[in-house]
Amino acid sequence: MIDIIDELLWREQIAQSTDLGALHEALSAGPMTLYCGFDPTAPSLHLGNLAQILTVRRFQQAGHRPLALVGGATGLIGDPKSTGERTLNSEEIVQDWVGRIRAQLERFYDFDGPNAAVVVNNYDWTKSMSVLEFLRDIGKHFSVNRMLDREAVAARLAKDGISYTEFSYQLLQSFDFLELFRRYGCVLQTGGSDQWGNITAGVDLIRRTEQTSVHALTTPLLTKADGSKFGKTETGTIWLDPALTSPYDFFQFWLNADDRDVKNLLHTFSFKSREEIAELLLATEERPHERAAQRALAEELTDLVHGLHERESAEAAGRALFGHGDLAALPHATLAAALREAAHAGVQADEVIDGALPSIDELLTRSGLVSSKSAARRTIAEGGAYANNERITDENWRPTTENLLHGEWLVLRRGKRSVAGIQLFPSS
């Protein structure tokens, strides 16, 4: 059996623990049941959730039994944020998101064998519980004074206040731990370090009601070397749902990771061995231009989240954009995602005259690849202008609608490295 605590320590993935020595001893004694919760506050999980998903996956690979909890009940309430009150979603929306997130979670765990994973929904044990039962059986064990000490609650009280609904969230999450202890013998909850207060409240509830000790462990919250939030880009959150973040964009996110972040990302997300990770870090230090660690992350995680086929399509798109593949062979969705990630500009349908778009010097300028039409003409004269990977030598050339890939896109390139897209829009 893998020593999961040793594994997490060398990966620097333990932020807090109730008693790490006692947890290590319990894990070494045999398989343990643990859980991590995911609230449906959006239609998809994101990269922050992925760090927690993969921590639980490591426990399963080490021989332990994971429970993946989807918060059909807690998702109706919302964990307090320090920035302000959440907007409550309808029960219909939340239950729809529960189904989507459940399907995403099922991709990451093994549901066969002696330590088969189980996906659970906390709505199942809260929907029939009365307010009086909850207050008497659960609320009685909580100190308001301790609840007020929680960082997010304190920040809200100092600012605009907090509703009783969100203030009560900690009781619901604690009740989950108690129910999972009773139903499945669950004795460990994991989560991000921002959940420490909620998790230890559940530990305390079990101690008070069941007169026994259970465990808690959190992982560090991920931030980039520049201080920005991990999993966010200029265009928004990196989601696990391909309809919200395309596999191409997902692949590129890892490929473009800062060298300063790559050690932490490999430790957090990769399942490669210590030796493999050490080799990748050395390669990145000695030959940073090759981006060996970033490419390894992009390949491994795109395979894991989206599958081999989507990863190969994302790689093919990257090659084709820079003249090393067939642009016409790329699926429409992959090409569109790749060009939306690059610089791009539009042409309205009423600008198309007799099937011809504006001239190439106008399109190069409009796309931002050059600063002016005169610069565009110099680029063409020097042999550095390409449309759909074909060199353009005539500054008066006008692409036609037949040149548009999937009837919508023209790929422009200046030199070897600068790419942009021209998209045809219907008349406004």
Q: How is 126-161 classified by DSSP, letter by letter? A: HTT--HHHHHHHTGGG--HHHHHTSHHHHHHHHTT-
Per-residue pLDDT at 307 exceeds 80: yes
Q: Do domains 222-326 and 342-428 have the same CATH topology?
A: no
**What does DSSP say about strands 385-387 and 390-391: parallel, antiparallel, or unpaired?**
antiparallel
Question: Quick one: which H or E segment has residue 232?
Answer: strand 232-233
Per-residue pLDDT at 423 exceeds 80: yes
Q: How confident is the model at residue 1 (pLDDT cuts 50, 70, 90)?
A: low
DSSP code for 54: H
Per-residue pLDDT at 428 exceeds 70: no
Which residue from 192, 195, 201 is spatially nearest to 144, judged by alpha carbons?
201
Q: How confident is the model at residue 126 (pLDDT cuts 50, 70, 90)?
A: very high
Q: Which residue has the higher pLDDT, 80 or 266?
A: 266
Long-range contacts of 123-126 (CB under 8 A, 24+ apart): 123/71, 123/72, 123/73, 123/95, 123/98, 124/72, 125/175, 125/179, 125/183, 126/73, 126/172, 126/175
- What does pLDDT average to over the chain? 92
365: Cβ–Cβ under 8 A, 6 or more apart, which residues? 371, 372, 373, 375, 376
Domain boundaries, the chain: 4-219, 222-326, 342-428
Q: How confident is the model at residue 334 (pLDDT cuts 50, 70, 90)?
A: confident
Task: Decide: helix, strand or coil at residue 304.
Answer: helix
Domain boundaries 4-219, corresponding CATH code: 3.40.50.620
CATH architecture assignment, domain 222-326? Orthogonal Bundle (1.10)
CA distance 193 to 202: 15
pTM of the model: 0.88
* Lowest mean pLDDT segment, chosen from 101-110, 149-158, 286-295, 343-352: 149-158
- Write the CA distances from 220 to 288, 319, 388, integer angstroms: 26, 35, 45
Q: How many CA atoms lie within 13 A of 269 on its CB side?
A: 28
Q: Mean pLDDT over residues 73-84, rounded? A: 87
High-pLDDT (> 90) share of the chain, %: 76
Q: How confident is the model at residue 333 (pLDDT cuts 50, 70, 90)?
A: confident
Length of the chain in residues, anyone? Answer: 428
Domain boundaries 342-428, corresponding CATH code: 3.10.290.10
Q: Mean pLDDT over residues 226-253, rounded? A: 86
